[in-house]
């Protein structure tokens, strides 16, 4: 399996914060010809709806898009997203639909209603010491919560993943994942989401990314994956064989994450093994999804 048809490579650094416009959102794109990656900007900070509109209406054709969010929740460890809940969905697309249904009145693609839902909240760790009774698997030794198979593989690369059921702390990923599921649902199948959908022979495709994997490929460590100046970013780009970007001094790490990951996707997409992880089977692909690059 390979993906040689892509003409562009985009990376979206996503945000799960509640406000409409997010300084934590950044979008970058690189072309297949080997040009320097560049930021896609607006005249004001991005909103999640802005990103959805760009993906559907402005993004170039034949683009591989990396979304820095968890496309699903743990399933394989207990055979269900929400064990014991009658509304627990059967697969990732049904999960996206459930999140959208419960959060339909939340503005800006937020997901507050889902984590506050009387049934769903029992599976999450929330602020104020509110840890649901099902946040951990029964008799779990790991107190960090449940993990997808792909997150276990991320850890094997030296990354430090957090459970998508965790909504607490600077590194929490639960809110960005849930808001991302609303966006994925609203794509309505117009663009395939790998590996929930098969990799097509043409057209654009979405994949989940973890920007630390791009940083590790660029010879940085997971603990030093954030680049907050142009010197560090350009050194990492050079390590990927990419042209550098113009600038000096400080740069926010959302922009640097997106720029580096767009350049990384350009070389990673040509590696067949990244499209066929050994630990991923069809059931995992359609329930938990996968992080591109976590072999």
- List, for residues 38-94, the tens digit of each pLDDT value: 999 999 999 999 999 999 999 999 999 999 999 999 999 999 999 999 999 999 999
pLDDT digits (tens, 9 = 90+) for 175-198: 999 999 999 999 988 999 999 999
Q: What is the DSSP string of 224-270?
A: G----BHHHHHHHHHHTTPPPPS--SB--HHHHHHHHHHHHHHHHTT
Write down the domain spans for the chain.
Answer: 92-185
Answer whether 0.75 is exceeded by the pTM: yes
pLDDT at 142 over 80: no
Q: For the packed helices 174-187 and 92-102, what is the interaxial angle rounded to 10 degrees?
A: 100
Q: What is the maximal distance between C-alpha atoms in the chain?
A: 54
In the block, tokens 């990244």 appear at 274
Alpha carbon distance 87, 119 (integer Å): 9
Q: Which distant-in-sequence residues (6+ apart) come within 8 Å of 58 by Cβ? A: none
Examine the pLDDT at 1 and tell me if it is beyond 60.
no
Q: Give the whole-number percent of the chain exceeding pLDDT 70.
A: 98
């Amino acid at each position: 399996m390979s993906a040689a048809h892509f003409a562009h490579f985009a990376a979206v650094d996503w945000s799960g914060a509640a406000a409409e416009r997010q300084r934590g959102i950044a979008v970058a794109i690189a072309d297949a010809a080997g040009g320097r990656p560049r930021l896609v900007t607006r005249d004001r900070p991005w909103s999640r709806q802005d990103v959805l509109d760009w993906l559907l209406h402005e993004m170039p054709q034949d683009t591989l898009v990396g979304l820095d969010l968890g496309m699903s929740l743990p399933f394989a460890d207990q055979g269900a997203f929400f064990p014991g809940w009658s509304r627990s969905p059967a697969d990732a697309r049904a999960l996206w639909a459930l999140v959208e249904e419960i959060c339909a009145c939340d503005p800006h693609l937020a997901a507050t209603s889902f984590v506050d839902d009387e049934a769903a909240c029992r599976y999450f760790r929330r602020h104020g010491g509110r840890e649901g009774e099902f946040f951990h698997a029964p008799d779990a030794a790991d107190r960090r919560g449940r993990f997808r198979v792909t997150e276990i593989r991320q850890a094997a690369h030296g990354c430090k993943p957090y459970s998508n059921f965790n909504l607490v702390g600077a590194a929490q990923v639960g809110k960005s994942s849930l808001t991302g599921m609303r966006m994925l649902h609203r794509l309505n199948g117009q663009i395939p989401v790998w590996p929930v959908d098969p990799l097509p022979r043409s057209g654009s495709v979405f994949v989940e990314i973890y920007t630390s994997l791009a940083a590790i490929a660029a010879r940085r460590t997971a603990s030093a994956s954030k680049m907050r100046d142009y010197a560090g970013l350009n050194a990492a780009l050079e390590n990927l064989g990419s042209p550098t970007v113009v600038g000096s001094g400080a740069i926010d790490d959302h922009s640097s994450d997106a720029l580096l990951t767009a350049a990384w996707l350009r070389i990673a997409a040509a590696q067949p093994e990244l499209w066929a992880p050994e630990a991923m089977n069809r059931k995992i692909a359609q329930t938990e999804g996968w992080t591109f690059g976590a072999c």
